[in-house]
Structures are given as structure tokens and as C-alpha cells.
Copies of this chain bind each other. A is one copy, B any other.
Amino acid sequence: MAFEMTSVVSKLQNLSTSDHASVVSMNLFVALLCACIVIGHLLEENRWMNESITTLLIGVCTGVVILLFSGGKSSHILVFSEDLFFIYLLPPIIFNAGFQVKKKQFFKNFMIIMSFGAIGTLISCCIITFGATQAFKRMDIGPLEIGDYLAIGAIFAATDSVCTLQVLSQDETPLLYSLVFGEGVVNDATSVVLFNAIQSFDLNRLNPSIAMQFLGNFFYLFIASTLLGVLTGLLSAYIIKKLYIGRHSTDREVALMMLMAYLSYMLAELAYLSGILTVFFCGIVMSHYTWHNVTQSSRVTTKHSFATLSFVCEIFIFLYVGMDAMDIDKWKFVSDSRGTSIATSAILLGLILLGRAAFVFPLSFLSNLTKKSQHQKISFRQQVIIWWAGLMRGAVSMALAYKQFTRSGHTQLRSNAIMITSTITVVLFSTVLFGLLTKPLIRLLLPHPKHTSSMTTTEPSTPKSVIVPLLGDHRDSEADLEGHEIHRPNSLRALLSTPTHTVHRLWRKFDDSFMRPVFGGRGFVPVEPGSPSERNGHQSP
């Protein structure tokens, strides 16, 4: 494995030198990306396939072809580097997730999303850690420490809900979509934060004080990262509004938004916080304030170019994972213990199924207890879909596994080789098999999505390619305020039973009177500095 790490480094060098071999691999890679896009387009209406599975399979096939061409020597066209993944590929995806999320739905279901994403991931991690500890100790795997077992928990608690999101419709099943989507993002962040927390603590001498410290660290990371993202987003909104950058050039606006989003991620890394959470909240704030301060063409451009960037990064990752899976060096180590490797993968898959069931159904039950109306409750069918949506494992698991099991010092160990190959097996198996079953399963459980959807959709069902951007739906603001003005929390009981609604209403008021006058946002036309609407805003509160 040490060889692999040096080969990662040399590959990266090659990518940046005009070495002809690296030009060949870059050509191949870009051409494959184009092919994936075209094939993904052609298979769009296929009953079984989706883009991620297609891309993963193309990656695996390419790996096999390269393996054959090089005479079984190597498939080293590109080797998975977790740093490339965390520094360049993940930020655009997560930022776009925050930027495109329907904020109203997200914040309405904020409590349940957070409990699924944070508490659920913790439960899942504990169960997988416990199960793995029990199972692997009896198997001939090799020495694994408690830190390794905790890391395995964090690695396999990281879900990849891209497959399911490609099937669900945001307009037809908004509640389900926002739950699956929101949980996915919070889960990504939680598992990375958890993993980093595990790595930085000495877990061999575990006592209550260290456990408390661990929890404290976890919440500090969560809150500080969120705040940093919000502040960077607000700063971008303020700069663009105050200086009215669009006056001279739309390119400057777009460039500034992109750079500040990336800056938020890098600042979080600088302060040892969670870049994923930061960039997610930066995306939310940017779409709430900054996006409304820029010119019309910048809005269309940012909306689509962020989505495109995220799309390309996703394809890149699946292709990358697929090609890397065929890397022969990894498999050499475990070729003599194929049985153990398969057993490990099977156990892990079982633990994933169990660990997820152990929090989706109980937490849904608890959530349903707090809701009065039947509309807001999560039906059993929806619970099954939420459970299923988080079964796939993806690039985050791969990257974390590489981080844990190829560290310098103990990279040639048999146990590490087995864990890496098991991770690859679980990722391929869950993505391809569970992924293939997702479309049929959802069609079975939601036969008439329009009727199953229990929430009233406030969003118009927009066609996929709209000319005028509808990211910020102007109807939301008014409809929302009017709707909740009626059942004002005039008693303590009402306050307790609808806490999120009340918080939402108070936030709206605060937003309208304090935030928007300073940071802009919908309802305000892009004003010139010192225009009437701006000055009024400053004086009226």
C-alpha cells in the first residue's frame, strides 16, 4: 500500500507535468466523462439504470480493459486519492446541495433531518462498531485496535443517497425528498466530523471524561462550522450588495460567489473545522441573500454552473471509484484469503442494513408522536424508502477507508488490505445492486406519487429546463407569513407543539426587518448603493 501512496503522488506530479503518459490518461479520462454523460442521457428513461450505476460500471469496465491491455500488470490510470476527493471534488457537490435545497422544506423538517443525520449516524456507527468488534475478533483478520473499529463504524455510517435522489421527485414528494436529501448532507458531515474526532483522540484509555470531551468536541465542530459558513455567506452578500459589483461586470459577481464559497471551505479546513458543513451552510446563505443581489444573468449562470460543476464532480467520483476498484495491487494481498474478505464484506453489509433500521424506524416513530395531523406524519412506506435510500455506500466511505487504512506505518498489514478491499466490495455491491432495485422499489411503494405525497406542494412543478430561474420562489414568503399568522402561539401548549413553525415565523420577521435590509435577498430588486429601498431598510427597524 505504501507503493500506492507514492504512486498517487507521482500520478499527481504527472498530471501537472507535460509527460506524455499523463496526457494519454487525461485524454482517456475526459473522453470517458463525456461518454458517461452521453450514455447517462440515453439511459435516462430506463427502468433500472441510473447515472451513478452506469458511470460506476463504465469505470469498472475501463479498469478491466486497461488491466488486459497492460497484461495484468496495472490499472493505474488514476488511483483514488482521498485528498483530491476532499479538497477538490466534494466541496462543489456539497455547496451545490446547499445552494439548490428548498430552504422552506429543509427548515420545516429541520429537527427530524438533524435527528436522522446526526443522532441516526451516531447510532448507526455504534451498531456497526459493536457488530464488527464482535464478529472480526473471531475471524482471522489480523490486529485491529479500538480506534480501527470506531473508524469502521464511521466509515460505514457514511451514506450516499445520490442514487435515490435521482429517482425521487422534489415536486411530487417534497417531504420525502427533503428528508432523504437533508439526511444525506448532514450524514456526510457527521461521519466526517466523527471520523476526524476518532482519529484525533487517544481511544485506548477510554473513560467518561474523554467521552465527554469527545462529545463536546463533536458539538463544537458542528456549531463553529455552521457559523463560519453563515458568516462567509453573509459577507459575500454584503460585499456584492454594497459595492454593486454587477454594475461593471457580471463575471465578477459569478467569480466572487465561486471563490468565496471555496474560501469558506478552505477557511474551515484552516481552523480544523468541518469544511462540508461550512460550505453547505454557505450555500444556503448564498442562495438566500447573495443570489438575490446579483444581476439576472448571473442568477441563471450561478444556478446552472454550480449544478453542472456538482454533476461533473459526481460523475468524476463514480468513474474514479469504478476504475480504482480494478486496481490489481489491492487484490493481490487478499488473493490468498478470499473467503475472509467475502465474509467481512457480507458482515459489513448486514451491519449496514441493521444499523440503519435501528434508527430510521424508532426515530420516525418518535417524530410521529410530536405531530398532530396525519399529513405531517411519516408513513411506514416512507420509512422504508428512507431506510433504503441510505443503504448505498459511496465515495465518502472509500475516502475515509483510505485515510484510516493506508496511513504510513502500518500499510502493508493484512488486516488493512482486507478492510480496503471489503470497503470497495461494499461500495460496488451496494451501489450497483441496491441502486438497481431503487427505481422498482420506489414505484412499488409509491405507486401514484401524486396521491401518496401527503404534503401540499407550494412549488409549481417546473419543467427540467426552465428559462427563467425559479430557485427562489417568490410565493413562499407571503404565503408562509399569512398562513401562520392565523394560528399564532397564544398558549404555551401551542408553542410547544409547533416549535419549528414558531421559530420559522420569528425568523421570517427577524429576516425581514434586520437581515434583508443589510444583506439583500428576495423582495429587494438589486439596488444601487444609497437607493431609497436600502435607506428605508436601514431606518425602519
Contact pick for A266, options B26, B251, B266, B312, CB 8 Å: B26
How many chain-A residues does the 8 Å CB contact rule pick out? 67
Q: Is the CB of B256 within 8 A of A34?
A: yes
Q: Is the CB of A86 within 8 A of B18?
A: yes
B-contact bits for A26-41, CB 8 A (1 contact / 0 none): 1100110110011011
Q: Is the CB of B464 within 8 A of A250?
A: yes
Bound-state Cα–Cα, A243 to B43, Å: 12
Q: Which residues of B contact A311 (CB under 8 A)?
A: 249, 251-252, 255
Shortest distance between the CB of A62 and any CB in chain B (Å)? 16
Shortest distance between the CB of A341 and any CB in chain B (Å)? 29
Name A241-258 residues within 8 Å CB distance of B: 243, 245-246, 248-252, 254-256, 258
Bound-state Cα–Cα, A495 to B245, Å: 50
Among A18, A30, A269, chain B packs the most CB atoms within 10 A around the CB of: A30
Q: Is the CB of A254 within 8 A of B30?
A: no
- Is chain A's interface secondary structure helix, strand, loop, or mixed overall? helix
A297 within 8 Å of B by Cβ?
yes
A497 within 8 Å of B by Cβ?
no
Shortest distance between the CB of A275 and any CB in chain B (Å)? 10
Segment of A222-230, A298-306, A516-524 in the binding face: A298-306
Q: Is the CB of B249 within 8 A of A33?
A: no
A467 within 8 Å of B by Cβ?
yes
Q: Is the CB of B301 within 8 A of A269?
A: no
A337 within 8 Å of B by Cβ?
no
Known: A37-B255, A259-B34. A465 touches B297 (CB 8 A): yes
Q: Which residues of B contact A42 (CB under 8 A)?
A: 243
Q: Is the CB of A23 within 8 A of B266?
A: yes
Bound-state Cα–Cα, A246 to B37, Å: 12
Known: A27-B263, A34-B259. A252 touches B16 (CB 8 A): no
Please state the number of chain copies in the assembly: 2
Shortest distance between the CB of A476 and any CB in chain B (Å)? 21
Q: Is the CB of A254 within 8 A of B304?
A: yes
Bound-state Cα–Cα, A247 to B285, Å: 31
Q: Which residues of B contact A26 (CB under 8 A)?
A: 266
Q: Which residues of B contact A15 (CB under 8 A)?
A: 87
Shortest distance between the CB of A519 and any CB in chain B (Å)? 17
Q: Which residues of B contact A269 (CB under 8 A)?
A: 18, 23
Q: Is the CB of B38 within 8 A of A266?
A: no
A146 within 8 Å of B by Cβ?
no
Q: Which residues of B contact A18 (CB under 8 A)?
A: 83, 86-87, 269
Q: Is the CB of A263 within 8 A of B30?
A: yes
A262 within 8 Å of B by Cβ?
yes
Bound-state Cα–Cα, A24 to B248, Å: 31
Q: Which residues of B contact A465 (CB under 8 A)?
A: 246, 249-250, 295, 297-298
B-contact bits for A280-291, CB 8 A (1 contact / 0 none): 000000000000
A461 within 8 Å of B by Cβ?
no
Q: Which residues of B contact A343 (CB under 8 A)?
A: none
Q: Is the CB of A297 within 8 A of B27?
A: no
A81 within 8 Å of B by Cβ?
yes
Q: Is the CB of B41 within 8 A of A245?
A: yes
Q: Is the CB of B260 within 8 A of A34?
A: yes
Q: Which residues of B contact A312 (CB under 8 A)?
A: 255, 258-259
Q: Which residues of B contact A308 (CB under 8 A)?
A: 251, 254-255, 258, 301, 305
A296 within 8 Å of B by Cβ?
yes
A536 within 8 Å of B by Cβ?
no
Q: Which residues of B contact A315 (CB under 8 A)?
A: 255
Bound-state Cα–Cα, A298 to B12, Å: 32
A239 within 8 Å of B by Cβ?
yes
A44 within 8 Å of B by Cβ?
yes
Give 9 nearest A-B pairs by CB, closest first.
A301-B304, A305-B305, A254-B308, A300-B300, A251-B308, A250-B465, A251-B311, A295-B465, A30-B263
Extra contacts, 15 of them, besides A23-B266, A254-B308 (Cβ < 8 A), are A20-B270, A26-B266, A27-B263, A30-B266, A34-B256, A37-B245, A37-B256, A41-B245, A41-B249, A248-B464, A255-B308, A255-B311, A296-B467, A297-B467, A300-B300
